[in-house]
Amino acid sequence: MQGGFLLLIASLCVGEGREITKSLSVQGGNWGTWGQVVYCPEGSFADGYKMKIEPPQGFRDDTSLNRVSLSCRDGTTLEASGDVAPHPHTKSFGTWGPMTSCQRGHFITSFALQVERPQGSDDDTAANFVKFTCRNITNGESYVMMQQPGAGYWGTYGPWSESCPLGSAVCGIQQKVEPYQSILGDDTELNNLKFYCCKHI
């Protein structure tokens, strides 16, 4: 009896009062540390994203993709409920691009990350671009949703992450960021991403 109870507790991960059905991860860059998970408001899920990207710097240090922000929408009323972006006050390079969204009433369920492998003594950039799949929370086929042109400056896409189970969608984001390396250092900033799926009640 006790073993079954503990197993039940272990299977119900909770984030800010919400039931987490799955965490989504891929192979990212080698540098940085994981920050805190930030969540959409209760009952809301991610239905779009934007990226903060630094364009090529010529002979200076490149960083490429540096931050990702999610737009949130209530899973029942479909009202917009704000944006979530980890590390909002940390120094970063580049500018925010436009928001790209799923079809109305659909939400993010998986992702793929474009990453440049380590360059040795040359300039590293790590994460360069991200794309997602969307679908209805409870049913339907998924489809790819990505900001144009669909790829960043360096690196290649790895495999897609697992997908949120039916009845859930992405509700939280966590970013692995390398801190500023000084004016003479080799900055990469964003190295990896994790997303968290929440159950739709």
pLDDT in tens, 69-86: 999 999 999 999 999 988
For 176-198, letters b (16+ CB in 10 Å) and e give bbbeeeeeeebbbbbbbbbbbbb
| Cα–Cα distance for residue pair 48/83, rounded to 1 Å | 9
DSSP-derived secondary structure letter, 103:
S
Q: What pLDDT sits at residue 88?
A: 62
Q: How many alpha carbons fall within 13 Å on the CB side of residue 185?
A: 8
Query: Which residues lie below 8 Å from residue 199, measured CB to CB, with a gap of 6+?
Result: 18, 19, 20, 21, 167, 168
User: Average pLDDT, whole number, for the chain?
Assistant: 89
**pLDDT score for 14:** 58
Report residue 8's pLDDT band, with 50, 70 and 90 as the boundaries: very low
CA gap 174, 182 in Å, rounded: 24
> Could you report the per-residue pLDDT of 97-133, keeping only the tens digit for each?
999 999 999 999 999 999 999 898 888 899 999 999 9
8 Å CB contact between 114 and 155: yes
